[in-house]
């Protein structure tokens, strides 16, 4: 985030006549906290584990090591 602040002055003409600069102050501010995603939470870690288990189960099923029971 970029903030800019101008110092008060009466008029542009007066600033030119008195040879005063119109001073601007610029402040760079960091936007803050990084957003959390589901994967960063405890529930997200559990879900990632369940996904890994399901992917492994799929691999065994596709390779024929695991048969579907009807």
Helix ranges (H only) for the chain are 12-17, 42-63
- Provide the pLDDT for residue 47: 96
- CB proximity list for 43: less than 8 A, separation 6 or greater: none
**Average pLDDT for runs of 10 along the chain of length 70:** 67 76 70 82 96 95 84
On whether residue 70 sits in a domain, the answer given is no
Nearest CA to 3 among 25, 27, 19?
A: 27
On whether residue 14 sits in a domain, the answer given is yes
- Provide the pLDDT for residue 67: 78
Q: How many domains does the chain have?
A: 1
- Provide the pLDDT for residue 60: 92
- Provide the pLDDT for residue 25: 73
On whether residue 69 sits in a domain, the answer given is no
On whether residue 68 sits in a domain, the answer given is no
């Amino acid at each position: 985030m970029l903030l800019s602040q101008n110092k008060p002055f009466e008029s542009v003409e007066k600033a030119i006549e008195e040879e005063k600069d119109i001073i601007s102050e610029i402040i760079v501010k960091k936007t803050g906290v990084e957003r959390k995603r589901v994967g960063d939470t405890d529930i997200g870690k559990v879900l990632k584990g369940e996904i890994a288990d399901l992917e492994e189960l799929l691999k065994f099923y596709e390779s024929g090591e695991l048969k579907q029971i009807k």
